[in-house]
Structure 1
């Protein structure tokens, strides 16, 4: 994912993905290509930090029998983003079990998941919510 042009050009780097796909941590280093005229992180880069991780974590844990999409996103800018920023998205196995149960009869599943983007001192820069859509593929057991 670190070779993906969208991330490379925005200064975003995936620094960790858990072996069981239950979490992912992403870092953004502020540079000339991702800063505003005010010297702070561009809002689009902040949003891109969290896209597509909740869907990816769900898809990798659920497997091929599911359709998983990012349905909606919200971002609240809390403070100016300067320096190195980090976000960790988490989707624990027990939540994936709830998704499996909710979609077992073919129903769709919609839920909002939240994360924060923080600066090097751990101060919040943005609060992000992303809604994912999950449904079993037709004909999947």
Structure 2
């Protein structure tokens, strides 16, 4: 979504509504089978669900691991881009997934960014200009049973530093 369109939408809708709708209408995200079902007003909590469907069922009838990984892929990055604003560069640098058991039902993930973590980012970037953060999220069923653990390495830098950095 381009910045002009975003500014217009922000005059009509709250940021959490734009983020939720944007994810759920985004074709690559829809192909993961993931759906954003909740975004808090402060954007610090995002909840997704990944139902087991014919679109993400593998040969043995369990959820394809790529669907789980893809559904979790952009969340932390987009969450932090939106929360931190224009003075930061944020990108998803790496990711991994550890499968604990085969998924045979709908799974959920809760992406939570705390105020303490946001303060840590501000302090780290003021001190070091850039830093990698390892963020984790579990895919669980409605009873809290963990099916997979996902790690994301998120790179954050001050925009000024990043523009002047020799790559």
Classify the TM-score, shorter chain.
over 0.9
Matches within 5 A, 1:1-141: 1-105=23-127, 107-138=129-160
TM-score scaled by length of structure 1: 0.92
Structure of greater relative contact order (alpha carbons < 8 Å, 6+ residues apart): 1
Query: 1:62·1:100 contact (CA, 8 Å) conserved in 2?
Result: no
Measured on the aligned residues, the alpha-carbon RMSD in Å equals 1.6
- 2 CA distance for matches of 1:93 and 1:121? 27
Q: Tell me, in whole angstroms, the C-alpha distance in 2 between the residues paired with 1:114 and 1:27.
A: 16
Q: How many residues align?
A: 140
Q: Which runs of 5+ in 1 are unaligned?
A: none
When residues 102 and 34 of structure 1 are mapped into structure 2, their CA distance, relative to the original with a 3 A threshold, is same
1:75–1:126 contact (8 Å) kept in structure 2 = yes
Q: For the residues of structure 1 that align with 2:147 and 2:131, how far apart are their CA atoms? A: 29
* Structure with greater proportional helix content: 2
Name the CA distance, whole Å, in 1 between partners of 2:56 and 2:74. Answer: 19
Decide which structure has the larger Cα Rg and report it: 2
